[in-house]
Amino acid sequence: MTDQPTLRDGDLVLRPWAPDDSDVTRTLHDAEIARWFDFPDVVPPEREHLDWIAQTAVDWTERRKVTFLVEWRGRPAGSVDVRVAHPGVGVLSWAVYARFRGQGLAWRAVRMLVEWAFDALGLERVEAHVNPENRASVRTALRAGLRREGLLRGNATLGGIRQDTVVLGRRRDDAHPDTHDGFTAMLDSTLPTKRAIAQGVLRSPAGELLLCELVYKREWDLPGGVVDRHESPAACVVREVREELDLAVQAGPLLAVNWLPALHGWTDATVFVFDLGTVDTSVVEGAHLQAREIRALHWVAPRDWAGRVAPYNERLLDTLDGHTGGTLYLEGGSPVA
């Protein structure tokens, strides 16, 4: 059985814990560490801390968990560890003492640990489970090269209160975080996402609009749907009309971009409304409706949509009625000055 190694990056050193480290490190624990690790005591009892240090040696021997003391310029600055949760998968944890925070030691130590774990432990993936309110630790994971992957709702408790957990991960075959691709992928994982919806205005020669009577809600709506990932809004409205109505259309000029605030349990969304042109009313006779979504189709004369569509769509359609200019920008269906 080989001894646990010591890892070095200039003045930053990761080394095995030793019993002699107990006295100096025990008193460096503070309320911040106790809070996020849910410890009952801010400063751990002497016997408990010594037993924990002894356990790190046992864990190394059994290869269940590897824990390193973080040293900065010869002084104990914190601790990092990786636990083998499943074959090929390690779960990371870390803590930096108060006087050493804000100097970039945490992410450097975690990254050093990750690189070593891929090589020495043969891991294919590492991940970190962080409370979303612990913004410093989320930033540490990201700077160490992990990517934000998702949110587990209410999967943990902290201080007896049910809490969410952010999952961040890095695979062995991910681009290195120091490369352009690696940095971009990390940053992209943190950016907000917003629902995009594409809908179309299909008119009859008499100026009526085609509206869909939907199965899953009371209000009628324009044909269209939610834009898939990596799909353009223009391609989406064509696809949705084909899938739900079995009609072939082309996306014409963009009539309006309508931002919708959060409503009825849905998050906010951006709606792209395209002109689908003018067709004879008989075209709907050839429609084959997707039964789980569309109950019926209706040609509706201008302003007769009041009370049949949602209020924001009533404002949208009223605004579009007679508009002959360029693309409108709307919020909740109303023009923004």
- Residue found under tokens 């409370």: 131
How far apart CA 1 and CA 63 sit, in angstroms, is 10
DSSP character at residue 239: H
For 79-130, the pLDDT digits (tens) are: 999 999 989 999 999 999 999 999 999 999 999 999 999 999 999 999 999 9
pLDDT exceeds cutoff 80 at 141: yes
- Residue 1: pLDDT band with limits 50, 70, 90: low
Share of the chain above pLDDT 90, in %: 93
pLDDT value, residue 179: 96
Q: 116: buried, middle or exposed (CB in 10 Å: 19+, 13-18, 0-12)?
A: middle
Q: 198: buried, middle or exposed (CB in 10 Å: 19+, 13-18, 0-12)?
A: buried
Span 7-28, average pLDDT: 97
DSSP β-ladder status, 209-214 and 294-300: antiparallel
Task: Pull the structure tokens for residue 189.
Answer: 């994982």
pLDDT exceeds cutoff 80 at 337: no
pLDDT value, residue 289: 94
pLDDT value, residue 193: 87
pTM of the predicted model as reported, rounded to 2 decimal places: 0.84
- Residue 266: pLDDT band with limits 50, 70, 90: confident
pLDDT value, residue 185: 95
pLDDT value, residue 258: 97
Instruction: List domains and CATH numbers for the chain.
Output: 7-190 (3.40.630.30), 195-335 (3.90.79.10)
Q: Which of 6-10, 65-69, 261-265, 273-277 is predicted least confidently? A: 261-265
For 158-212, the pLDDT digits (tens) are: 999 999 999 999 999 999 999 999 999 999 999 988 999 999 999 999 999 999 9
Task: Pull the structure tokens for residue 48.
Answer: 């408990």
